[in-house]
Amino acid sequence: MLRRQIVRHVLSLLIVLIFALQPLNLVKIPLLERMENLAYDFRVRLTMPGTQDPRIVILDIDEKSLGEIGRWPWGRDVIADLITVLFDYYRVSAVGFDVVFAEADESSGLKVLEKLGREVLKQDPTFQAHLQELKPFLQYDNRLADTLKNRNVILGYYFKNLQDEGGVSTSGELPKPVMTLAELGHSNIPFVQATGYGGNLAILQQQALSGGFFENPLVDSDGVFRRVPLLQEYNGALYQSLALGLIRALMGEPPITLGINSTTGGDASQVEYGLEWIGLGRYQIPVDERASVLVPFRGPQRSFPYVSVADVLSRKADVNTLDGVVALVGTTAPGLMDLRTTPVQSVYPGVEVHANIASGILDGSIKMRPGYTWMAEFLAILFLGLLTTFLLPRQSPLWTTYTTLLLFLVMVWVNLFFWKRYDVVVPIATTATLVLTMFMFHMSFGFFIESRGKRQISRMFGQYIPAELVAEMTASGKDFSIGGESREMSVLFSDVRGFTTISEGLPPAELTHLMNAFLTPMTRVIHLRRGTIDKYMGDAIMAFWGAPIEDRSHAKNAVMAGMEMIQAMEDLKDAFKARGWPQLKIGVGVNTGTMNVGNMGSEFRMAYTVLGDAVNLGSRLEGLTKQYGVLMIVGEETKAQVEELLFRELDRVRVKGKAEPVAIFEPVGLKEQIGQETRTELEVYHQAVELYRQQRWKDAEKRFKALQQRDPERGIYNIYLERIAHFVQHPPGAAWDGVFTHTSK
């Protein structure tokens, strides 16, 4: 048996080792990389907001525009008219072009007229005069250049890389770079390096506000657009993308800053630099080491308003749609070949990729995949690998399935938590595949036979305590018994206020649904706090801590469970109201002390339960909550063992059936979460109680009245004021010990 277990563990650890080499880049498994891409795409589709961003509008060179204006490329006079209409009529904030104007526009016929004037009509003064008048109107590039002046227009261009055809050729003119490597001071950051470019005509680029590249050299191996660089390096300078250029134009062209961390190797002289973010005014854009961002897709195509360019030129477009927006000029016409494959859609307009990036910058919703995520993945693989190696062999097949499913769900939840809460993309495919592989391995290895000890523990305690505690007992290897024993424990009683009235007002079936909806979250809280449900008594619950597994924090867990049960009831308020149910309020009593615990009952029915004076007192404390107008009361022994909480001492009382007086307390909250105002109020309150016990009635009354004015709803102040009024008229005498005797339960 031992040898068999050793073999199983060794093989299991080998599986873990193989998977652990993946994030270290020592082993590359293409299938896992493909699965990682699919997992990323799934998370994008699962969490994308699916809303439309009206701040960015796409001006579409669509089939309608091509039909009304003519085939592409259009004359620069049309582009000049478009810009004029956009800024002067529609009052847009900025315009970006997802097209390049690389060649001179000779469509006006000016060259033909000039040749005619030189060769045929050079002696015709009328023709020459008209030609000079028409010339400014027919120089379309000049017209467009004049239109670009002093306007927030970002012209698009593209870079080339060595792998591209003609990768070192250049044409047109580049805009000014955002910075040089010399200004940056670091040369070993692996920016995407361009070797050539296709720019706009110099006359156009010089008059435009700036420019931005629109191509993507970082398309993944499966051809999907997932990340796009915001900066590229060319000849020792850095140039911005079209989306980044648009946001800068919107902000008044602020300078760009780079967030760079440094790591020193074994040799102190060898320092490695890594890029983490790009700063743009108040925005801090997370990027990877190559200055690229993960595209924050809002949804499928048309996550931004689309307006046909033809409707803009004819002024048929809605003014409210374009007023003050960022306009991106691009195309969805299939013949113009600007359609991409993305995680959200297999055919997706390239111009909308830029719109998503610009929107993500404005919203601060761009996901980050920091360099340290490989370490998180590596540690997760080690943790889950070792956990499944030593945990799964100790479980039954059914619990192995449950455990694996739970681990998988927790892993997915944690991953999505970091994805949604912190915008961090943590790899998941390798870790998830490891968990499933370990499950299949251990199931196939044949541990379908449970050990006798496991079956015995499950048989004895499975009906009393949470499954998690049964698993913990099983894993401990210790002996547990349901025989009676005496130990220090904590007990909790809870009861619904006014339940009789509530139950009389509901049909039986509806009352059953209400009870299930109430008891389920209450039980969940108790289980999460490692408690054992003793019994349900109609609307009441009895639970205890400290058995069958010893719990050194039983008092704290019991009190925290009570507070969380009260909060859970508050959280159920809206759901109950929606179903036409009354809001339930519960009273909770918690006490700590020596109790007898074991399997008790008759030959007809047994129950694992607790008995003793400490248990009875816990029940009495729950009953006192109604009289003191509080939701929870704990005994003094409980309070003494829970140092993390702040308490309000309510009274010293003698409860029915107990001669010795006890102090009772109301939990206020965790000390670290209690503000100074509440602390001051508690201090004044406790001073007032002490004055009351010293029979200094006027001083105590003064403080209680001051407290009552600040918080008229707190019933304990009224209780003491009523007692003081009574004792002023009927002094209790010098032998009075300040204890109040309760004669009912």
Give pLDDT, residue 178. 94
- Position 443 scores a pLDDT of 79
Q: What pLDDT is attached to residue 477?
A: 45
Dist CA 544 CA 590 (whole Å): 9
- Closest of 154, 140, 130 to residue 56, by C-alpha: 154
pLDDT in tens, 389-429: 888 877 777 888 898 899 999 999 999 999 988 889 999 99
**Chain segment 248-259, per-residue pLDDT in tens:** 999 999 999 998
- Token duo for residue 218: 């970082």
State residue 137's pLDDT score: 65
Q: Name the nearest CA neighbour of 141 among 77, 66, 233.
A: 77
474, two tokens = 């099983």
Q: Are 80 and 147 in contact (CB under 8 A)?
A: yes
pLDDT, averaged in runs of 10, over the chain (745 residues): 70 88 82 90 93 95 91 90 95 95 74 58 65 65 91 95 81 93 80 93 94 92 92 94 95 91 51 78 90 94 95 94 95 81 92 95 90 85 89 81 90 91 90 90 63 47 55 50 77 89 83 89 91 88 88 94 94 90 92 88 74 92 92 95 94 81 94 92 94 93 93 91 92 86 69
| pLDDT value of position 134 | 64
Q: Are 608 and 592 in contact (CB under 8 A)?
A: no
Question: The sheet that has 231-234: what strands, in order across it?
Answer: 179-180, 237-240, 231-234, 192-193
pLDDT confidence of residue 269: 46
Distances (CA, A) of 598 to 475, 487, 541: 22, 11, 18
User: How high is the pLDDT of residue 485?
Assistant: 82
Q: Say if residue 73 is preceded by a cis peptide, omega within 30 of 0.
A: yes
pLDDT at residue 451 in the model: 46
User: Could you tell me which residues are beta bridge partners of residue 670?
Assistant: 645
pLDDT value of position 119: 57
The tens digit of pLDDT for each residue in 461-482 reads: 554 555 555 555 555 444 445 5
